[in-house]
Amino acid sequence: MALASTQAAQARRQLVLNLFIYPGGHHEAGWRYPGARPERLLDITFYQDLARSAEAAKLDAVFFADGPAQVDNIRYASRFRLEPLTWLSAIAAATTHIGLIGTASTTYYEPYNLARLYASLDHLSGGRAGWNIVTTAVPQASANFGLAETPSHAERYARAAEFVDVVTKLWDSWEDDALVADPVSGLFADDSKIHPIEHVGRHYRVKGALNTPRIPQGRPVYVQAGSSDDGRSFAARYAEAIFTAHQTVESAKAFYADIKKQAAGLGRNPDHVKILPGISPYIGSTEAEARQLHEAFSDLIQPEYSISQLKQITGVDFSGHPLNGVVELDAFKDAGPAKLVASRFQLVVDIVRREKPTLRQLIDRLAGARGHYVVVGTPEKIADEIQHWFESGAADGFNVMPPWYAAGFDLFASQVVPILRKRGLFREDYTGRTLREHYGLPRPQSQFAEAARATA
């Protein structure tokens, strides 16, 4: 009987929970909140401690966003970048189970270099690497790579598809049993199981093989975060986890249904594509306390920064606009979202249409988590929201985006996670060691091993 109920609990669909780490916290004023430690923003032990807290709470992974340019207005906010591969390697050394997801750009990396970096992260972490595949929308990046202009959206996604093909071949190029390392016979590697990939495509020519044995996970976990039509079909084809931003459960449900359907249509198992919206929790022991916490953050906002962010997302400059003046939908009518992130633009327009906010209110809505879902309330309320999204086909789990560190996450770990656990929605402990095991994803075979077998 006890056994049966344990098995039932194990069989129950489990939430995925990642900790999304952004220097200084996800609220744009997070670095200013009392208890935030701005003097430790470049101190690796601060992030190692955070990852250890996430691991103690049995989270699936920590996640770092990235982009190869200084984009945000750095004058008012802690918006520099931590290079994810190096940072995660040092975090790997301080942890044993938690997954390590880093972002890297298909537009601004060479496939051979990227394949090596992630292979190495997977080796040194014992199979915990995830790659958030982005094409880098921000126009500032291209000028750091000798390009006169940013490749178009379509061009970036075409390159991305070929890029993923190339690195997949590289990660497959050593079959699992190519490494022998037998000191007695003197055979180090069976070179008949190491395959030059001989890739020749429209954008890349890469001979291979990779110069490192196959990694514990076979391939890192493929994560994606595009929301455009191209982005969604790319994700449906390649991604094993998808990060996404939604303000409402309805919007998330539509996205969820679309992606799962597309994935199934491509012959994939929809369970192997985890949909993970962002959630930024402001937690209080009462509703009133939570609202106070949220207001304390609002009070720290610097409108110059928020207005520069709003311009970055929408292309519209609100510098002259009174903070207490209502934002008109008309303000966006001439903003061509062509070169911007269309889904993020749409999200702002939807807020304006739905809520008719003043500029101050709009800024406030975005300051918390750049358009991700913000929940203000008691631990129970936050757990209720998570469960509701999870059980109504809006999410397979969440990217948790604390407004500030470390306490902003510790509250979630100590107050919300135990409730989810009690409800049987989240693991008591890790049952595996790799990120694939945490996410319930299969370990891919090398395509060369299969080909070899098929022709044998």
Binding residues for FMN: 66, 103, 153, 157, 227-228
The helix-helix angle for 84-92 and 111-125 (nearest 10°) equals: 10
Of the residues 1, 3, 4, 146, which one makes contact with its own copies according to CB under 8 A? 146
Q: Which is nearer to its own copies, 110 or 177 (CB)?
A: 110
Q: How far is the CB of 275 from ligand FMN (least distance, A)?
A: 11
- Half-sphere exposure (Cβ direction) of 280: Cα atoms closer than 13 Å: 29
- Which one among 89, 228, 298, 358 touches ligand FMN, defined by CB under 6 A? 228
Residue 94 near residue 48 (C-beta atoms within 8 A): yes
Q: Which of 52, 56, 124, 270 binds its own copies (CB under 8 A)?
A: 124
Contact 317, 309 (CB under 8 A): no
Tell me which DSSP letter residue 194 carries. B
CA–CA distance, 91 with 455 (Å, rounded to integer):
43
Q: Provide, rounded to whole angstroms, the least separation between the CB of residue 194 and its own copies.
A: 7
Instruction: Say whether residue 82 binds ligand FMN (CB under 6 A).
Output: no
Q: Which one of 9, 154, 187, 326 is in contact with its own copies (CB under 8 A)?
A: 187
Q: Which of 22, 63, 76, 373: binder of its own copies (CB under 8 A)?
A: 76
Residue type present at position 180: V
Choose, by CB under 6 A, the member of 102, 127, 226, 397 that binds ligand FMN: 226
Indicate whether 343 belongs to the interface with ligand FMN (CB under 6 A): yes
Number of residues that bind ligand FMN (CB under 6 A): 23
Question: For residue 137, which phi and psi values (nearest 5 degrees)?
Answer: -85, -30
- Considering only residues 93 to 152 of the shown chain, the ones binding ligand FMN according to CB under 6 A are 103, 134-137
Q: Which residues contact 372 (CB under 8 A, 6 or more apart)?
A: 26, 245, 246, 277, 278, 279, 280, 399, 401
Shortest distance in whole angstroms from residue 262 CB to ligand FMN: 14
For residues 431 and 448, give the distance between their C-alpha atoms in angstroms, rounded to a whole number.
30
Pick the piece of the chain touching ligand FMN (CB under 6 A) from 120-128, 252-260, 341-349, 440-448.
341-349
Indicate whether 96 belongs to the interface with its own copies (CB under 8 A).
no
Q: Is 131 in the site for its own copies (CB under 8 A)?
A: no
Q: How far apart are CA 241 and CA 223, in angstroms?
A: 5
Cβ neighbours of 391 (radius 10 Å): 11
Q: Which stretches does DSSP call E strand in 106-191?
A: 129-134, 179-182, 187-189
227 counts as binding ligand FMN under rule CB under 6 A: yes
Q: Determine which residue in the list 16, 29, 54, 65 makes contact with ligand FMN, applying CB under 6 A.
A: 65
Q: Does the footprint of its own copies cover residue 81 (CB under 8 A)? A: yes
Name every residue whose Cβ is closer than 8 Å to that of residue 391 and which is 6 or more positions away in sequence.
none
